[in-house]
Structure 1
Amino acid sequence: MGSTNGSARRLRVAFVGKGGSGKSAIAGTFARLLARAGHSVLAIDSDPMPGLAYSVGVTLTDLGIPEDAVVERAEGEEGPRFRLRPDLSVADAVDAYAAVGPDGVRFLQFTKVGGALTGQMRSQQAFLQIVHDLPEDRWSIVGDLPGGTRQPFYGWGRYA
C-alpha cells in the first residue's frame, strides 16, 4: 500500500455484510491504514450505528450534512430532488462537514439512529452526490454500509 501522489486514481471500497459482522471495525481499520500509508482518505458512513466513527477515532457521532447545505431542485429540472447548494462543490462539502480523525482520515456520515427523520431524505440525496461526484484524484473512499444486501446496490453498485 505505497503512498499515492499527483493525479493517481484513488480507491473506492465499500464494506458489506450481515449486521454485527464487524464491517465498521474493518472499514475503520482499513481507512486508518490507508491514511498511515500516505493516502488521503474519506470514510463515508451510511450505517445507522456509530461504529465507524469510533473505529476511525472520531468522538462525535452525529456529523451529517446540515439541511442548509442542501436545496430542492427547481420544478422541471432533471436530476435528484435534493442536492448540494449550487455554491457548494462536493469537495467543499467534504472540507466543511467531514471530521478529521487522528490518522488524518476524513469522516462523513449520512445519519444515525435517533437522528432527525425529516432531514434524512435531503441529506441522503446530497450524501449520494458526494459519493458519485467526488473528484477521483482527491480522496480514496472507504464506505461502511448498513447490514444486509440492499444498500450496496443503492449508490455503490457502479463501483463494483
Structure 2
Amino acid sequence: MQSLNPVRIEISIQTQSLSVYQSNKPIVQYPISSAAKGVGQQKNSNQTPVGRHLIRAKIGDDQPMNAVFVGRRPTGEIYRPELAQTFPQRDWILSRILWLSGCERGLNRLGQVDSMQRYIYIHGTPDSEPMGLPCSHGCIRMRNEDVIALFDQVSVGTAVDIKP
C-alpha cells in the first residue's frame, strides 16, 4: 500500500474516534477505545493524555496480524482466546504499535506527565474488546485491521492531537 503521508491524526475522546487528515481534509476515520479512567496526564494514572503528540516510533511492521507484544517486543505468540485464558490479566497489545511522544512541556512532555515515558501507544487489541467505549489502561486501542491500515499510512513524526 502506498503511504498517504497524512498531515496529522486527530483523536477525539468524546466521540471515541481517530481521524486521519491530509491537507486539512479528513480522509479516513476509525473507532477507538481510550482509557476507562478518562483523560489525564499523570504518570501511573491509567488515563489517556491530551494535547499535541507525535509518532515517536513505529513497531511491528514485519509481524502478522494478532502478533502479541510485551515491552514493545513481539513474543512470538499469536493472540487467540485460549491464550487469553492462560494470561487473563494481560493488557493485550497486538499487531502494531505507534508509540507517542508529547510535544507540550508540562502538559504531556517531561516530568510526571511525559507520554513517552508513560508508554502511551496506539495499538491493536483483541476483536472481543469493544470499540467506541473507553476501556483501555491509557493507550488508544484499535481493531487490528484498522491499526495495520493506519500504520501503513503514517510515518515517524506524524502529528497526533488528542482532544478531550
Please confirm whether the aligned pair reaches a TM-score higher than 0.5, indicating the same fold.
Answer: no
Relative to the length of structure 2, the TM-score reads 0.30
Name the structure where strand makes up a greater proportion of residues.
2
Name the structure where helix makes up a greater proportion of residues.
1
Which is bigger in relative contact order (C-alpha 8 A, separation at least 6)?
A: 1
Relative to the length of structure 1, the TM-score reads 0.31
